Amino acid sequence: MAEEVNGLRIITLSPFEIHFSQTRIRFEFQDGRTLQTALEETKARDTTFEEEDAILLAPPFPRIEVTRWRCKLRDAEGAPRIDPETGLELYSQEERWFTFDNRRLCCLQRAAAAKWPKKVCCEVYEIPPALARTRELRKFDTRSSGFSVLVGRREAQNLDTWCWRTEVGVPAVQESEPGVVMPGLRRRRPESERQGAGHFRGRRREAKEEEEEAERSFPLQLLRSFLLFMIIYLSLRVCMILWRKYKAGSGTDSVGELENSSL
């Protein structure tokens, strides 16, 4: 029976079985560590996988999360491919393992490619499709069905492409598969209608963001108003105190002059 942590099953897969969910990743992790550094820190030990001798990777980061999913097919520009007969979006013909942790997967695949042709595996968290659908699947934008990924910053002119098949010298998988229509999906509306609806949603989203921003900034505005009031109040108090001292001093001087004149 598979081990579970926080309700998620821990399963063992080959990094080559797992696909990228995004088109591009950066060279470094959020903590500043580069992919190369993580690769160099990845350990390995002997194990048994699918009843064969294998190598189990022990990377310097937590287990990646994977889910079984039919990937939405996209063209080279990133637009969803449409079935000309039904007008519905096309999906991959079979379910595959996809991950939400694309940089970690790239590191694992590089470590596995370095051990080729030995069988390599890693432990991962299996995310149920129902849970994955409510979390990260909206971010799926891969244009290669997850077989490869671009590596580099968004503004870079020439991005590197990582594909484990190219790295180890085996034939690449045909990325432009025919695709199938998923049952229960609605017909994709024409571009003009989507743009109009998108504009309306964009205006509504902007209005909501402005309202939320106003709510967030209200306490700060209130604090600023209070501080301004206190500054003005204290300034007036200081002026009044100085004025009273001045008047008191003037009165004392006048009394002294009268006494001197009487003498």
- Give the start-to-end residue ranges of the domains of the chain: 3-188
How distant is the alpha carbon of residue 233 from its chain centre?
48
Mean pLDDT score, 89-112: 92
Q: Which residues pair with 97 in a beta bridge?
A: 18, 68
Contact 67, 126 (CB under 8 A): yes
Q: Which one-letter amino acid corresponds to residue 49?
A: F
| Gyration radius of the chain's alpha carbons | 33
- Mean pLDDT (the chain) is 82
DSSP string of 138-185, one letter each residue: GG---SSTTS-EEES-TT-SS-EEE-HHHHHT-PPP-S----EEPTTP
DSSP 28: B
The b-or-e profile of 145-170 (16+ CB within 10 A means b, else e) is bbbbbbbeeeeeeeeeebbbeeeeee
Q: pTM higher than 0.75, yes or no? A: no
pLDDT confidence of 135, banded at 50, 70, 90? low
The pLDDT score that the predictor gives to residue 215 is: 60
Contact 18, 124 (CB under 8 A): yes
User: Of 56-60, 113-117, 126-130, 203-207, where does mean pLDDT reach its minimum?
Assistant: 203-207
The pLDDT score that the predictor gives to residue 91 is: 83
The pLDDT score that the predictor gives to residue 58 is: 97
